[in-house]
Amino acid sequence: MLELDPITILLEILNFLALSLGLYYFLFRPIIQRVETRAAEKAKLEEEIRQNLLEAQQFKQEQETRLMQANDAISQLMDEARDQIERERSQMLAAMRAESEQALKDARVDVQRFQKKELEEFNELLLDTLMTLCGELIEKVSPPALHDSLVQEANDFVWKMGREQAGEVENLRRSLGDRTPTIRFTSTRALNLDQQRMLARSFSALTDRSVNFEFETNPALYGGVQVRVGDILIDNSIAAQLKNIRSEVKKELHTRIANA
């Protein structure tokens, strides 16, 4: 039968305990510490990874939010740009429409001005032609007595001027100075001797001095006589009367054209 020595058992137990303690402190404890350290590092790493994931998620959300804001801003800018383009297009169209209307108005004014100018030139030519035809016709159909009566009227006008317009007569005489004036008589046909003497006597009295006389003819007067003495022209010819009629007709035509 096996006999166990208590002391031996006690020593074995103590030896086992010492070995266990030695293994714990020198083997298991470092391993446990390393495991705990690795676990702590792993937990820290996991925490960092989780924090990074959270930050990444937050960054992603922020970027998505910024992207949405950027899209909204871009949409707003595009809307504003479209509105601005539409406003500018409307303004350009309005300006072009106004310019077109003004150009059309100016063109109408130019056309009207051109038409009036052409009409006035045509009227001038028509009046000149009519007055020439009328003068030539009057000259052909009028009796010699008409021409003689016009010469007599010119002579009577001189005497009437001497009686009723003393101021103008005095001005005429002063304007002649001390020189011997030349009085020019122009008639449609040659004046006869009695007519020459009559006119010479009348104008000598009008100027109150000796004068020189020149007599010439101009068929374009169509009848009657023109007398020039100094700066005064006494025109009692058919051409002068036609000229007055022409001025009145021209004035009336001009008024009607302006009011058209």
What's the CATH number where 188 sits? 3.30.360
Asked if residue 215 is part of any domain, the answer here is yes
Helix (H, G, I), strand (E, B) or coil at 10: helix
Q: What is the tally of structural domains in the chain?
A: 1
Q: Which pLDDT tens digit goes with each residue over 167-190?
A: 888 888 888 877 788 899 999 999
Asked if residue 136 is part of any domain, the answer here is no
Asked if residue 233 is part of any domain, the answer here is yes
| Other CB atoms within 10 Å distance of the CB of residue 204 | 14
Q: Could you tell me the maximum CA-CA distance found in the chain, to the nearest angstrom?
A: 211
Bridge pairing between strands 212-217 and 224-229: unpaired
Are the C-beta atoms of residues 186 and 225 closer than 8 Å to each other?
A: yes
Asked if residue 5 is part of any domain, the answer here is no
Asked if residue 17 is part of any domain, the answer here is no
- Digit-by-digit pLDDT tens for the chain (260 residues) are 545 577 777 777 878 777 777 777 776 677 777 777 877 887 787 788 888 878 878 888 888 888 888 788 888 888 888 888 888 888 888 888 888 888 888 888 887 787 778 877 887 888 888 888 888 888 888 888 888 999 999 999 889 988 888 888 888 888 887 778 889 999 999 999 999 999 989 988 888 888 899 999 999 999 999 999 877 888 999 999 999 998 888 888 778 777 76
- Phi/psi of residue 36, each to 5°? -65, -40
pTM, two decimals, is: 0.55
Q: Which pLDDT tens digit goes with each residue over 122-137?
A: 878 888 888 888 888 8
Asked if residue 258 is part of any domain, the answer here is no
Asked if residue 187 is part of any domain, the answer here is yes
| Other CB atoms within 10 Å distance of the CB of residue 42 | 11
Are the C-beta atoms of residues 249 and 127 closer than 8 Å to each other?
A: yes
Domain coverage including residue 167: 144-242
Helix (H, G, I), strand (E, B) or coil at 216: strand
Asked if residue 161 is part of any domain, the answer here is yes
